[in-house]
Structure 1
């Protein structure tokens, strides 16, 4: 082989080798570029998925915990016990409460639990059983007591803590304790006795979305004085105990 052909062959071999390395490098670079794009796309998908999940959870929490106002109407059984004497039992009683829950933290603890401070109003009315029927008064007594109509009206404000648990969906289970400073009246025939009274209520409730049912106890006492008395009036202490069953609306 002549020197000229040898040089040409050598140049061709070198050129092909260089070209092969160049193609290999380009292929590696292309694969790296594709992988980088795939990784970037995967990161974007993960970020969007996380954002959607957070939005969905936020919307669910808002839907579950957004009903902070409440109104409840209930039936009450009640006793009124004087400091000296026998207790009187209610013929029937009704109670109306309304208010608002102020949550003490924004996010529910463990995703299920919230503490709140409740405030609002508490109004109740009770009619007690006829005095003559309760104590079997004689005919002579009936001449003196023709109509023993005893009624109790209480108007107060409620304040106190509560705890609410959300086990699943829109199901809410709550418990509470409230202090209810009130203006209380005992109406007996044409006489009205009244004074400040301190009541305490405590109970629990189960609700689904806007509808709930609950039971609560209530107790308190006051020293009543007559509004009709022109002179010095002797105050009489009475203690009230009651049990309420109620239906509530949350909005």
Structure 2
């Protein structure tokens, strides 16, 4: 009986050893499973859209409420670029043909192969009680002429409809190294403040997806200049050099073609 039991145990051990060797050989011949750390298309890519500050050091104008136009910027706001950023934070709004900067950032190194862009109006009501009725201008020096995009540069139109565009340029992004480009949007075509959105989609890693703009807070606001034949809006002008000075001009109705508004420095 003891001999028979020993023989059975030996057979079991041998069978187990053979099975183990077969499993080892089969596993060794197969490729290892893929490491699941490759990002899916769009994962970790963030997109922001903001009014561009390109060229703002040469001068600009926005529309602002009476309250915003009366505010004095902090002392460290020493040039038109800084004043532009301050005015937008305070609630001033862009008008006309306005450049927008699209910025991509990511938590991994990646290539954005193409970018889909669509600009659409939005029904969100303007949140402020005071409408923007004052031209807020900045000049780097007396007599400077601020640059503005030409109408032909506008790739999108908020009011009246625009076709979406796909920009085929490849853009490299990695942690700490953003990619950005500008698009000009025509903001004309309405009489007061209005909301709009810029929708962005990206192709990355062979896949495509829409990505949230500005972290999901994607509604932007703009307005009309309010001026035209027979009316000049009130204007507040900051001249930044050689010293920062402010000039206020009241609104004028039916001004003479060669007339000038009376301003207070």
Q: TM-score, normalised by structure 2?
A: 0.26
Higher RCO by CA contacts (8 Å cutoff, separation 6 or greater): 2
When Rg is computed on C-alpha atoms for both structures, the one with the higher figure is 1
